[in-house]
Structure 1
Amino acid sequence: MTALPIIVGMGGINAAGRTSFHQGFRRIVLDKLSLAARQETFLGLATLMNLVRYQDGNLMTCDGEPIEKEQVEARFGEQIKAGTLIRKIESNHFDVDATHWQQKLTIKSSDDGGLKFTCKKRDLPNPVPSSWQVTELDKKSVAVLVPDQLEVKHDSYRDNPVKAAGQFPTGFDPSTMYNSRYQPRGLQATIFAATDAVRSTGLDWHKVMNSVRPDQIGTYSASIAGQMNDEGFGGLIRARMKGERVSTKQLALGLNTMSTDFINAYVTGNVGTTFTTSGACATFLYNLRAAVNDIQAGRTRVAIVASVECALTPEVIEGFGTMGALANEEGLKKLDGSDEVNYRRTSRPFGDNCGFTIGEGAQVAILMDDELALSMGAQVMGSVVDVFVNADGVKKSITAPGPGNYITMAKSVALAQQIAGSDALRQRSFILAHGSSTPQNRVTESLIYHKVAEAFEISNWKIAAPKAFVGHTIAPASGDQLAMALGVFSHNIMPGITTIDSVADDVYDEHLDIRTEHYECDDMDIAFINSKGFGGNNATATVFSPNQTMKLLAKRYSEEVFKGYQQKRCLTEQAQARYQQEADLGQYQLIYRFGEGQIDETALVIGKESMSIPGFDNDIVLTGNNQYTDLS
């Protein structure tokens, strides 16, 4: 039997808040929540944003005033809403109204005598230009005569045309939650997201690690740009140009593999598969595909799938902006016929738009094969039956779309129909669209859905677009989509695209249900996570709901197995409830095992058929890996 990859936990952080227990989803659909869920969401966001803290058994504001859970919205509701989702870029990133840059300046002498100045001898350029006349004044200083002009660069500031982004909630600072040791923001977010995911499972991680062989656990994760903050590649590239020194950490910490490495080394202690692949905006799905394939093949039984991108830097934003990919002030003003820009509405998937809005995020999903998930009593949040990836073929422009996404969507839909049936596909499926908010995307992506819907006789196909709220987080973008899908499964609320007034005239929406308001929906069985990446990196995942997943498992396992599973799941649910309560109170207890429990390599025991590792109950089997028995 092919193992079914079960989602047993998901954690992370983006502009909407924490991923576990659907806090970020709830923030997006806030006005559709019950009173209890609304209060829970406001409390969790208030502690995440350091507006409220839990101390000595009491809730208090940061001013030390006692406050009740029911009072949080009245006291901080508007501040919480203003400090989440897409908004004007905050100063902890950079000043968008006065963005620093180096401006060229050509200096000429005001007379025929040339340009004269003094400086320290050590500050002279090396080599000294041949036209310069240098006279020593003393042991440390020189006088310089430049007979012609001198070109210099000086500090200057400009008004940045791109001013909005999907940023972590205001006040959220993962660096203060553990000994972050000057790590880049993306890796700090990785530690938070991985901890959130592990704790969200409600399972004892030590027990999980020892329930399978050590080499049957895998971590699959990547960034695209790598870590572009000063502590990573950003500082490395800028250092010498700014007259500063490169640090010993910037190159290593900047690598796009680091999210994988940090999860293994500091959170899970994994010694199994370690995998990193980048696929532009489809990166999360590319890594999910590798994990799903390994679970289906039996190579991996526990998979941590992750992606992170925190690239809200002037350089990255200018790069996308120069391409014309980002929504800027001028374009938004033209769209709205106004001199004012509503930063909340810069991302407008399938509406009249002028470019995408960049975001930052970290998403981590934990998957198990179905047999292990049931034996552990894990919570079944859904299942990933497959992920399809296809390229575009010959291209005229590397950023232009092509046929690849037609293939991935058609395969994904066909598979869902074969497994779940036509009724489930036509009546209880929905799409988490790539929805980047560019004029080209709204046409090309909607045309794909239109043609696939026609082929499979689907009407009123529900569409949701997370980038309208959290921006385009690049590498983890499809992780944001998966988080929203799980939220829909859990809450039966379909997020509308509230940042648009109406669907654009050139969108192919004849078979699509694109709404501008959130609305309650029937139980959904199937979610299609779709991603269209630069360069022809197309991916679509077929994700089944908890109910649909359990229907499949009922065909494979006996009532006795399910009875034992349900008993174990009760304990899991109790542990999950404890973590949710702790997390909502800001008690995250980040897992950061820096140097803790290192494996003594001298204690490894290697035999001809197996290998034992200190700290793991089960041995690694060395035999049984020969796939070429017919050639042996």
Structure 2
Amino acid sequence: MVKLPVIIGMGGIGPAGRTSCHHAYRRLVIDQLSLADAEATKRALAQVMGRSDVESDDLLKGSLVRKLENNLFDPQAIPLHKAFGADQGSSLLVNKKRVGSPIPEHWTVTEHDDQRMRIDLEANQPLLVPITRQSTINAAGQLPSGFDPSKLYQSRNHPRGLQMSVYGASDAISSLGFDWDRVKQCVAPDQIAVYAGSGMAQLDYNGVGGMLQARLLGKRVTSKQCPLGLAEMPADFINAYVLGSVGATGTNMGACATFLYNLNQAKDDIRSGRRRIVLVGNSEAPLVPEVFEGYGNMGALATDEELRELDGRSVEEGADHRRACRPFSGNCGFTLAESAQFFVICDDELALELGANIYGAVADVFVNADGFKKSISGPGLGNYITVGKAMAVARSIVGEQGLQRSFVQAHGTGTPQNRITESHILNEAAQVFGISNLPVTAIKSYVGHSLSAAAGDQLAATLGTWQYGVIPGISTIDHIADDVYQDQLRFLMQHESVDTQGLDVAFLNSKGFGGNNATGAILAPHATQEILLKRHGKEAIKRHAALNEQTRERQAEYDVRCSKGELSPIYQFGEGVLGAEDIEFSSKALHVPGYSKPVDLEIPNPYE
């Protein structure tokens, strides 16, 4: 029997706050929550922001998409070098230590005084003069104001994306409601996997960015910048310092669809039985000046000037940064964001055995390329295939009626091109499958576009919808653009209350640069429970429910302790390191300390 990939845990950090216990989702719909839930989410948000004034108006303003803050860099004074030149016959006075070697042939160097040398130029000399510039793009989906993951553990000059990985993975694992050691007693070491990474690697100064900048800034490349800058390093950090895992590892990259690529790998592993439990996620920290400039020069990001033009505002009035991302409406570009989102996926038998919370299940994920393209960033046919197959598999699982009870978390970047192409894809698919008034939302309007982690943001919001019965609407828009296809679609411009039992499946859609398309079909908790009941029977479900009571209690305890600031991320540097002398190795099995089950080496011939 094919295993069912069940979602049993989630954690992370993004512009909406902490992911576990649905707090990031609850921030999106906080005005729709009960007073108790709203207050709990404010406390959770205040804790990550390092604040005690839970009722302050600034608390909510310091989250989601907003004007760029200067905690990462000063957008009003971005440093750069301007090309300059000294003419032939000019002279320069330079500190003796700065003259360097070898001396260019067109320099004549003489001693000027005890500290300086005189350089007479016999030809024109190009120079670089340090200056600053103001950013034309000043909106971003930033982590909550005041949140600094580097201060929560001994970060040792880690790139920001890895700091966020440690926090996000720790949040996912710690909020499971049971210890990870319990998992290690149920599965063999090689039945665990971590699939995590980043789409653009670690680009701040502690990573690849610093490695490429250092020499040009007159500094030295450190021993960490190259290795810690690798795109799969989030998985490496989680294995080495959070889980101590010796199981499968890696990342599957696909630009803005990367999270779904990793989720697909996790789904395939669990379905086949190769793995029993997988931590899957992505961490992206792209808020550096060079990335803003790169996407900005493509015309992909919303500039202040363009936002003002959309709203008819003057320079003095300024741009509405809070509403920078406007999917499927009058818009001018996407809004860059940072986020780290992680989910724990396991097979259905293990979920029942652990008494785990069941947030839903991964019905399937489909990945397809675009084929021949006019431009590497232009759209193609691949997304028609992924959406079509996702709806087809959902129909097979939940039936025609279940398919009617679905909604879409659109890629919804906020660009003029996306609003046309994605709406056409969704509209055509809905028509083909006979779905009318298919609800469509796009949470990038709240949190921006976190690139590789974007579908992780979508999944967290989807699981929250099933828990609280509110689909977050696209609240940054007041109309649907005329060129958007919507005959079969219903774009939600406001929050929509729904019956939590009335939505059977959600479709997560991602479209990435280069023709990387992915669509995931996610089953609701009640739809998942129906499958579990058919597979395992009433008695197994009763046993799980009894175990799950303790799981929920421990999750609530974790939430309270987090909101009080009593917990730190898991970071086990140099702890529990194992060597060859620690393992028991035979031709039939390999025993790793800490696991009750061995790695099975009696592997049958797979080609018979």
TM-score (norm 2): 0.97
Using the aligned pairs only, state the percent identity.
46
Partner of 1:221: 196
Kindly tell me the number of residue pairs found equivalent between the two proteins: 603
Q: Which amino acid aligns with 2:485?
A: Y
The CA distance in 2 between the partners of 1:323 and 1:625, in whole Å, is: 52
The CA distance in 2 between the partners of 1:352 and 1:14, in whole Å, is: 26
Match of 2:586 among 607, 615, 620: 607
Partner of 1:117: 92
Partner of 1:513: 490
The CA distance in 2 between the partners of 1:401 and 1:125, in whole Å, is: 51
Partner of 1:529: 508
1:38 aligns with 2:30: no
The CA distance in 2 between the partners of 1:117 and 1:99, in whole Å, is: 27
Partner of 1:540: 519
Taking the TM superposition and a 5 Å limit, the aligned residue runs for 1:265-280 are 265-280=240-255
Taking the TM superposition and a 5 Å limit, the aligned residue runs for 1:363-512 are 363-426=341-404, 428-512=405-489
The CA distance in 1 between the partners of 2:309 and 2:534, in whole Å, is: 57
- Tell me, yes or no, if the aligned pair for 1:347 and 1:356 is still in contact at 8 Å: yes
The CA distance in 2 between the partners of 1:119 and 1:344, in whole Å, is: 48
Deviation, 1:521, is 1.4
Partner of 2:28: 28
SS in 1 for 2:256: coil
The CA distance in 1 between the partners of 2:292 and 2:307, in whole Å, is: 17
Deviation, 1:210, is 1.9
Match of 2:285 among 283, 292, 310: 310
1:352 aligns with 2:327: no
Q: Which amino acid aligns with 2:62?
A: G
Q: Specify whether residues 237 and 625 from structure 1 end up closer, same or farther in structure 2 by C-alpha distance, changes over 3 A only.
A: farther
Partner of 1:149: 124
The CA distance in 2 between the partners of 1:250 and 1:464, in whole Å, is: 39
Match of 1:343 among 314, 321, 333: 321
Partner of 2:3: 3
Partner of 2:143: 168
Partner of 1:92: 71
Q: Which amino acid aligns with 1:511?
A: Q
Partner of 1:617: 596
- Tell me, yes or no, if the aligned pair for 1:101 and 1:158 is still in contact at 8 Å: yes
Deviation, 1:106, is 2.2
Deviation, 1:585, is 2.0
The CA distance in 1 between the partners of 2:14 and 2:554, in whole Å, is: 24
Partner of 1:67: none
Taking the TM superposition and a 5 Å limit, the aligned residue runs for 1:190-209 are 190-209=165-184
- Tell me, yes or no, if the aligned pair for 2:532 and 2:541 is still in contact at 8 Å: no
Instruction: Name the stretch that deviates more: 217-226 or 97-106.
Output: 97-106
- Tell me, yes or no, if the aligned pair for 2:370 and 2:381 is still in contact at 8 Å: yes
The CA distance in 1 between the partners of 2:143 and 2:95, in whole Å, is: 45
Question: Residue by residue, what CA displacement relative to the aligned partner does 1:231-252 show, whole Å, maximum 9, x if unpaired?
Answer: 1111111100000011111111
Match of 1:245 among 220, 234, 239: 220
The CA distance in 1 between the partners of 2:547 and 2:605, in whole Å, is: 36
SS in 1 for 2:302: coil
Instruction: Name the stretch that deviates more: 332-341 or 377-386.
Output: 332-341
The CA distance in 1 between the partners of 2:515 and 2:434, in whole Å, is: 27
Deviation, 1:396, is 1.2
- Tell me, yes or no, if the aligned pair for 1:599 and 1:615 is still in contact at 8 Å: no
Deviation, 1:138, is 6.7
The CA distance in 2 between the partners of 1:8 and 1:280, in whole Å, is: 26
- Tell me, yes or no, if the aligned pair for 2:96 and 2:117 is still in contact at 8 Å: yes
Deviation, 1:137, is 4.6
- Tell me, yes or no, if the aligned pair for 1:196 and 1:588 is still in contact at 8 Å: no
Partner of 1:68: none
Deviation, 1:343, is 0.5
Match of 2:568 among 589, 592, 598: 589
- Tell me, yes or no, if the aligned pair for 2:85 and 2:126 is still in contact at 8 Å: yes
Runs of 4+ in 1 over 4 A off after TM superposition: 137-141
SS in 2 for 1:179: coil
Deviation, 1:121, is 4.0
Partner of 1:83: 62
The CA distance in 2 between the partners of 1:611 and 1:95, in whole Å, is: 53
- Tell me, yes or no, if the aligned pair for 2:187 and 2:595 is still in contact at 8 Å: no
The CA distance in 2 between the partners of 1:217 and 1:605, in whole Å, is: 19
The CA distance in 1 between the partners of 2:542 and 2:344, in whole Å, is: 24
Q: Which amino acid aligns with 2:287?
A: L
SS in 2 for 1:541: strand
Q: Which amino acid aligns with 2:529?
A: M
The CA distance in 2 between the partners of 1:47 and 1:120, in whole Å, is: 49
TM-score (norm 1): 0.94
- Tell me, yes or no, if the aligned pair for 1:610 and 1:619 is still in contact at 8 Å: yes
- Tell me, yes or no, if the aligned pair for 1:281 and 1:477 is still in contact at 8 Å: yes
The CA distance in 1 between the partners of 2:231 and 2:589, in whole Å, is: 33
Deviation, 1:125, is 5.0
The CA distance in 2 between the partners of 1:126 and 1:442, in whole Å, is: 56
- Tell me, yes or no, if the aligned pair for 1:600 and 1:614 is still in contact at 8 Å: no
- Tell me, yes or no, if the aligned pair for 1:186 and 1:227 is still in contact at 8 Å: yes
Deviation, 1:464, is 1.5
The CA distance in 1 between the partners of 2:265 and 2:140, in whole Å, is: 30
SS in 2 for 1:556: helix
1:563 aligns with 2:578: no
The CA distance in 1 between the partners of 2:508 and 2:168, in whole Å, is: 20
Q: Which amino acid aligns with 1:480?
A: D
The CA distance in 2 between the partners of 1:388 and 1:625, in whole Å, is: 30
Question: Residue by residue, what CA displacement relative to the aligned partner does 1:495-546 show, whole Å, maximum 9, x if unpaired?
Answer: 1111111111100011111122112112221010110000011001110011
The CA distance in 1 between the partners of 2:452 and 2:231, in whole Å, is: 10
The CA distance in 1 between the partners of 2:554 and 2:292, in whole Å, is: 41
- Tell me, yes or no, if the aligned pair for 2:164 and 2:340 is still in contact at 8 Å: yes
- Tell me, yes or no, if the aligned pair for 1:83 and 1:169 is still in contact at 8 Å: yes
Deviation, 1:588, is 3.0
SS in 2 for 1:476: helix
SS in 2 for 1:555: helix
Q: Specify whether residues 139 and 341 from structure 1 end up closer, same or farther in structure 2 by C-alpha distance, changes over 3 A only.
A: closer
Q: Which amino acid aligns with 2:359?
A: M
Structure 1 regions of 5+ residues with no counterpart? 53-60, 62-71
The CA distance in 1 between the partners of 2:480 and 2:567, in whole Å, is: 40
Deviation, 1:28, is 0.9
